Amino acid sequence: MMTNLKKEELEIIKSIQMLEMPTRQLISESVFLSVQKVSVVLKSLEKKKIIMKGGKSFSVSGRPSYIYEVNPLQMYTIGAAIDNHRITTLIIDATKEIVKTTEHIFSDEALASNSTTKLLDEIIEPLKLAKSELEKEGKKPVAIGISVPGMIDTARRVWLSGLHLPGINNLDINKEICKRMDVPVYVDDQSRINTYYEKSVGHGKGINDFVVLYLGVGVGAGIVINNSIYRGAHGTAGEIGHIIHAHNNYRCSCGNVGCLETVTSLEGVIRMFQDRLAEGVHSLLQVEDLTIETILDAARKGDKLARTTLFEIGQFLGDACITLINLFNPEKVIITGPLEILKDYFTDAIHLALTRKIFPSILEQTKIQFASYSAKNEAYGAALFATSQYWDDLLSSETNEVNSNCG
CA distances from 370 to 190, 212, 337, 358 (A): 16, 9, 9, 19
Predicted confidence (pLDDT) per residue in 59-78, tens digit: 656 678 899 999 999 999 99
CATH at 14: 1.10.10.10
Examine the domain organization and report whether 145 and 185 are in the same domain. yes
Residue 242 domain-assigned? yes
Residue 403 domain-assigned? no
Examine the domain organization and report whether 215 and 337 are in the same domain. yes
> What is the mean pLDDT of the segment spanning 343-356?
97
Residue 268 domain-assigned? yes
Q: How far apart are CA 205 and CA 29, in angstroms?
A: 20
Predicted confidence (pLDDT) per residue in 154-189, tens digit: 778 788 877 778 778 888 888 888 889 899 999 999
Examine the domain organization and report whether 281 and 357 are in the same domain. yes
Residue that finishes a domain, picked among 71, 105, 121: 71
Examine the domain organization and report whether 100 and 171 are in the same domain. yes
Residue 199 domain-assigned? no
Examine the domain organization and report whether 239 and 271 are in the same domain. yes
Structural domains in the chain (count): 3
Give the pLDDT confidence score for residue 2 in this predicted structure.
65
> What is the mean pLDDT of the segment spanning 140-160?
88
Predicted confidence (pLDDT) per residue in 205-241, tens digit: 999 999 999 999 899 999 999 999 999 988 889 999 9
Give the pLDDT confidence score for residue 160 in this predicted structure.
81
Residue 1 domain-assigned? no
Residue 404 domain-assigned? no
Residue that finishes a domain, picked among 34, 49, 71: 71
Label residue 116 by pLDDT band (50, 70, 90): confident
Residue 159 domain-assigned? yes
pLDDT at 348 over 80: yes
CATH at 266: 3.30.420.40
Examine the domain organization and report whether 23 and 168 are in the same domain. no
Examine the domain organization and report whether 231 and 354 are in the same domain. yes
Label residue 57 by pLDDT band (50, 70, 90): confident
Examine the domain organization and report whether 299 and 364 are in the same domain. yes
Q: How far apart are CA 191 and CA 176, in angstroms?
A: 22
Residue 156 domain-assigned? yes
Examine the domain organization and report whether 55 and 138 are in the same domain. no
Residue 35 CB partners (closer than 8 Å, separation 6+):
24, 25, 28
Predicted confidence (pLDDT) per residue in 237-267, tens digit: 999 999 998 888 888 878 888 899 999 999 9
Residue that finishes a domain, picked among 38, 54, 71: 71
Higher pLDDT, 166 or 33: 33
Examine the domain organization and report whether 95 and 38 are in the same domain. no
Q: Which domain holds residue 19?
A: 7-71
Examine the domain organization and report whether 84 and 146 are in the same domain. yes
Examine the domain organization and report whether 126 and 167 are in the same domain. yes
Predicted confidence (pLDDT) per residue in 277-331, tens digit: 999 989 999 999 999 999 999 999 999 999 999 999 999 999 999 999 999 999 9
Label residue 402 by pLDDT band (50, 70, 90): low
> What is the mean pLDDT of the segment spanning 140-158?
88
> What is the mean pLDDT of the segment spanning 137-148?
94
Higher pLDDT, 342 or 2: 342
